Amino acid sequence: MKVVVTGANGQLGQDVVKVLTEQKHVVIAADRSQLDITSKEAVYAFMEQVKPDAIIHCAAYTNVDKAEEDQEAAHLVNALGTKYLAQAANQVGSKMVYVSTDYVFNGEASVPYEVDHPTSPLGVYGETKLAGEEFLQEHLERFFIVRTAWVYGVYGNNFVKTMLRLGKERGEVGVVHDQVGSPTYTVDLARFLVELMESEKYGTYHASNEGVCSWYEFAVEIFKQARLDVKVNPLTTEQFPRPAARPKYSVLSKDRINKEGFTPLRNWQDALAVYLDEENF
């Protein structure tokens, strides 16, 4: 298949390009310099020229805290950018995969979020990503929405890299223990996105590595696997204030992945081990 990947230079996008290439798809890797998704004209012209079979939309405004003060930019990228891509996909007969987020939920649940659970974003980032979902559903029939959480990979900055850096520098870190979710390794997520794209089983999915932990437990496991002697102090969310509210419970139910017969993502501890090996840690 001929596949356009937006955000191709990002943390997830680079792994998606890699997986697509390994699986012999024709990849058009589009970063911001090649495709401005906030320009309707640019998106239409690009897709008319390329005429892809599928679009995997990884580009996003992901700075959760900055989005609170820069609402217009977040809306432009996450909502309108997705709308323009969906409209263009519809025009050229392409299917589309949109990477969304656990932030579309308020984090007040106590059991894993199902794909049809009512949405209720806490802040601008979640609101704009949800708006992207709604535009996709409005303008396209052949679409996949994939909500994920706690993403980390070799490319770009993430929690694992931050912990390793701070741990080595300080020997002691403080990490919140009252926010719970499932870490997601970009390689595993990329493989799922491509497997999904190759199917006709449209709709909404939740994808993260198996298992559940708090950020504190995640940090403890990172240092254990990296064989670093670092003291990890558990903090409450209130002790670590941020401009944007974080969902306290971000566990996503992967029932639909199993029901549709797709390959489940591996356990998060196993994925972390592979990541650290890839980072030569």
Rounded Cα–Cα distance for residues 268 and 91 (Å):
39
Rounded Cα–Cα distance for residues 249 and 239 (Å):
17
Residue 152, burial from CB neighbour count under 10 angstroms (0-12, 13-18, 19+): buried
Hey, what are 279's tokens? 């980072």
3-state secondary structure of 8: coil
3-state secondary structure of 172: strand
Pairing of strands 180-181, 213-214: antiparallel
Whether 202 is a known active-site residue: answer no
Spatial contact of 203 and 31, defined as CB atoms under 8 Å apart: no
Residue 246 CB coordination number (10 Å): 20
The residues facing 26 across adjacent strands are 2
Hey, what are 27's tokens? 């990849």
List of residues 6+ apart from 22 with CB closer than 8 A: none
Rounded Cα–Cα distance for residues 14 and 156 (Å):
10
Could you say which of 125, 152, 205, 216 is catalytic?
125
Closest by Cα among 135, 162, 167, 129 to 148: 129
Q: Is 126 left (phi over 0), alpha (psi -120 to 50) or beta?
A: alpha
Q: Write out the catalytic residue numbers.
A: 125
